[in-house]
């Protein structure tokens, strides 16, 4: 009987201990924000966050609370939405919060952000931080990603095929491959150092802002749903390829279709042109042929695709344009 009583007491103690386990939250501002409105995590009013209280919470907003450390967030295993904007965070690890669908951590000082375990994330806004790298390869259901105003030189979004909105302005991107992001509707990639941008597969694209880059070619003729394009401040961009409908929009809605004065709209661009090649800096031309294999004089052709052989051994398909507007 004594053994049974002792066993029951031990079990009761373990249960009470588990129920009353306190979450370690070293940042006083973070703890205070969890206890205060609108979070109200401290349901029993004891001034601490019990593990059970943390595990029951689904939405937290601790924005603008002068928080430097989010240690303790791992205990919130049911969390679906976390907003921690405008703090002084340098590191954010939400790898234990695997139920998260929304993460907003803009305007911090983040140099590291761990989201690779958060495969349910639908939206990430980590703009205005100091991130040099960002791994979103495991976040395959993302529809919105905003990492504007960071320090990234590259990003792999090839696994994020559900993306509809991508905002990557004011970074140091030299390339951006979005060919697999065919659901993309809104793309802001201005103020980077992009020299090329292939959007031929992004046929759902509605709005594109790629100004203030180093683009040498741009073809939007396949983007039949595009209603707005801003591609100015690209000093090496001489021609933007558009379809006939888009050409009409450049006249009827000029504020929605903005380019440099030196850039021309053209409906005569050939889709098979090698856009990475700049003919103005090509090696010496040796031979030129039309697609029938007949030698031609380049200066006398007006429109079509031609095969140019250069002195460095390279062979290129070159487009000649006519009716440039």
Q: Is the pLDDT of residue 156 over 70?
A: yes
pLDDT, position 269: 76
Mean pLDDT (whole number) for 107-128: 98
Whole-prediction pTM value? Answer: 0.78
d(CA 186, CA 195): 20
Q: Could you give the C-alpha distances from 223 to 168, 178, 203, 246, 269, in angstroms and in order?
A: 20, 13, 5, 9, 14
Mean pLDDT (whole number) for 203-207: 97
Tens of pLDDT, residue by residue over 174-187, are 999 999 999 999 99
Tens of pLDDT, residue by residue over 42-52, are 999 999 999 99
Confidence band of 4 (pLDDT split at 50, 70, 90): very low
**3-state SS string for the chain:** CHHHHHHHHHHHHHHHHHHCCECCCCCHHHHHHHHCCCCCCCCCCCCCCEHHHHHHCCEEECCCCCCCCCCCHHHCCCCCEEECCCCCCCEEECCCCCCCCEEECCCCCCCEEECCCCCCCCEEECCCCCCCCCCCCCCCCCCEEECCCCCCCCCCCCCCCCCCEEECCCCCCCCCCCCCCCCCCEEECCCCCCCCCCCCCCCCCCEEECCCCCCCCEECCCCCCCCEEECCCCCCCCEEECCHHHHHHHHHCHHHEECCCCCEEECCCCCCCCCCCCHHHCCCEEEEEECCCCECCHHHCCCEEEEEEECCCCEEEEEECCCCC
Pairing of strands 257-258, 102-104: unpaired
Measure the CA dihedral 56/58/64/66, to 10°: 40
Tens of pLDDT, residue by residue over 242-275, are 999 999 999 999 999 999 999 999 998 754 334 4
pLDDT, position 160: 98
pLDDT, position 287: 59
| Comparison of pLDDT for 292 and 237, the residue scoring more | 237
d(CA 206, CA 199): 12
pLDDT, position 324: 37
Confidence band of 316 (pLDDT split at 50, 70, 90): low
d(CA 162, CA 71): 31
In this structure, what token pair is assigned to residue 139? 């976040």
pLDDT, position 6: 45
306 within 8 A of 318, measured Cβ to Cβ: yes
Using a pLDDT cut of 90, give the percent of the chain over it. Answer: 75
Using a pLDDT cut of 70, give the percent of the chain over it. Answer: 77
How many Cβ atoms from other residues are within 10 Å of residue 305's Cβ?
14
Q: Is the pLDDT of residue 299 over 80?
A: no
Mean pLDDT (whole number) for 296-317: 59
Confidence band of 323 (pLDDT split at 50, 70, 90): very low
pLDDT, position 275: 40
Mean pLDDT (whole number) for 202-223: 97
d(CA 261, CA 86): 39
Mean pLDDT of the chain: 86
Tens of pLDDT, residue by residue over 126-139, are 999 999 999 999 99
Tens of pLDDT, residue by residue over 52-86, are 999 999 999 999 999 999 999 999 999 999 999 99
Instruction: Tell me the chain's radius of gyration from C-alpha atoms.
Output: 28
Domain segments of the chain as ranges: 281-320
């Amino acid at each position: 009987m004594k053994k049974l009583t002792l066993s029951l007491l031990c079990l009761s103690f373990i249960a009470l201990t588990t129920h009353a386990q306190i979450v370690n939250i070293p940042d006083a501002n973070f703890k205070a924000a969890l206890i205060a409105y609108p979070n109200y995590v401290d349901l029993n009013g004891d001034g601490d966050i019990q593990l059970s209280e943390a595990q029951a919470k689904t939405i937290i907003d601790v924005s603008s609370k002068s928080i430097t450390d989010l240690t303790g967030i791992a205990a919130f295993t049911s969390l679906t939405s976390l907003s921690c904007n405008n703090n002084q965070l340098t590191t954010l690890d939400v790898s234990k919060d695997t139920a998260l669908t929304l993460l907003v951590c803009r305007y911090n000082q983040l140099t590291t952000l761990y989201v690779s375990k958060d495969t349910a994330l639908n939206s990430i806004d980590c703009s205005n931080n100091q991130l040099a790298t960002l791994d979103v390869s495991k976040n395959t259901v993302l529809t919105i990603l905003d990492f504007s105003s960071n320090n990234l030189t590259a990003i792999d979004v090839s696994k994020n095929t559900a993306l509809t909105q991508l905002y990557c302005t004011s970074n140091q991107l030299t390339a951006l491959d979005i060919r697999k992001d065919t659901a993309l509707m809104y793309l802001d990639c201005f103020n980077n150092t992009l020299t090329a941008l292939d959007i031929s597969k992004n046929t759902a694209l509605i709005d594109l802002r790629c100004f203030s880059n180093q683009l040498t070619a741009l073809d939007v003729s396949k983007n039949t749903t595009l209603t707005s394009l801003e591609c100015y401040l690209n000093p090496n961009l001489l021609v933007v390829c558009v379809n006939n409908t888009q050409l009409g929009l450049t006249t009827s809605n000029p504020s929605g279709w903005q380019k440099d004065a030196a850039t021309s709209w053209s409906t005569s661009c050939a889709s098979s042109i090698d856009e990475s090649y700049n003919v103005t800096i090509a090696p010496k031309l040796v031979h030129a042929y039309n697609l029938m294999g007949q030698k031609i004089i380049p200066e006398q052709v007006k429109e079509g695709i031609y095969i140019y052989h250069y002195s460095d051994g390279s062979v290129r398909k070159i487009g000649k344009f006519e009716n440039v507007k």
